[in-house]
Structure 1
Amino acid sequence: MLKGIPQIITPQMLYTLSAMGHGDSVVLADANFPAYRIASNHTLVHIPNISICEMLKALLQVFPLDHLHESAGYVMEVDSEDQRRGVKTPIWQEYSEILRKDNNKSKQVLGSYSRASFYAEALKAQLIVLTGECAPYANLMLFKGVLN
């Protein structure tokens, strides 16, 4: 245990976050994300009893967001079949509220990638945190910035 480090950030996460460089990414993954396949060459931490919102709040206490990206965070776009079925993504509003508190107000808070692009970007992520989040389309990608 360390002072000032949220308890849900594991030692392995802290090490990986610390070793990441500017522009490296972390994926906060929902329970349905193919994390074991995607993270085959990178660090995977499985914390099944935590929501992505809880993890995001903790992560932002130690993780500077990249101001060079167009958005503070990125979600996976709802595919056309799920749009036809009426799948909703209320969790995105929660992410926006959390990120807005930590974000430069002139920047778009949430951007999105198509499913294929999100998976392609996730393959490059240095860290994937597999949570117990069950909300649809809850995966969130963040890019590391620099400390001022």
Structure 2
Amino acid sequence: MTLSLQFTNVTVNDVDESIAFYSGALGLDVQNDVGSGGHRWVTLATPAQPGLGIVLSEPHAGRSQADGDALQELLTKGVLPMLVFRTDDLDGLYETVRASGAEVLQEPMDQQWGPRDCAFRDPSGNTVRIAQAPAA
């Protein structure tokens, strides 16, 4: 038996603004753009992990009003789970994302537990970390 992660969801305030960040700044590819019931889901992926999709959706997409409101409150507070990406060129990707206007939370630095990493906020306030494995 095998088990692998197929999708992970990222709640955002504005799907188009988020596509500009995740596709434009981070370089992910748009795989699907689906509308239903006045809401929209967009799936992004990277050639490095073709079976893993990152789904962007607004808080009320596919949820009850109460659940969407609760999720919106958490998004506004900036307390939803972060995404952590890995790259082989942290400094280059950092400069690309910084130049996109994303809010920098941490410039690239070596962490005591091993990786070199940096952190940003996406346009909706979600924390996005980018790590590079230590040199062997």
- TM-score > 0.5, shorter chain as reference: no
Which protein is richer in helix relative to its size?
Answer: 1
TM-score with structure 1 setting the length? 0.28
Which protein is richer in strand relative to its size?
Answer: 2
TM-score with structure 2 setting the length? 0.29
Larger radius of gyration: 2
